Structure 1
Amino acid sequence: MRKLLVIGAIAGLGYLVWREVAAERAERDLWNEVTDPIEA
């Protein structure tokens, strides 16, 4: 039972970290799109 709790906790933490990284990547992509130099 204890192993299951540890595995669940690790999986939960991994999910939270992945979600945070994905959000930062999306924000960075948005800023890159907004701040692209205008090409004429």
Structure 2
Amino acid sequence: MKKLLALAVVAGGVLFVIKRNKDAKAEADLWREATAPTERPLAAVSTNGSAPAKTAEAGTNN
């Protein structure tokens, strides 16, 4: 009975480690995808996260 319990504990530990590694890989892939540079920036969003200045307003606010 003790051997069976020990085997169940070891199997549970192995499954836990496998699931944890899968979750870590999925999170790393998601992070890599979210932070990957795009081919061209979006229209109203700059690449550094700040709002870009509009060219028409930039010249009239002097």
TM-score tier, shorter chain, comes to 0.7 to 0.9
> Identity, % of aligned pairs?
40
Matched AA of 2:31: W
For structure 2, the 5+ residue unaligned runs are 41-62
Q: Which runs of 4+ in 1 moved over 3 A?
A: none
Greater relative CO, 1 or 2 (CA 8 Å, sep 6+): 2
Aligned pairs, number: 40
For structure 1, the 5+ residue unaligned runs are none
Please give the TM-score of this superposition, normalised by the length of structure 1: 0.83
Aligned-pair Cα RMSD in Å: 1.0
- Identify, as 1 or 2, the structure richer in helix: 1
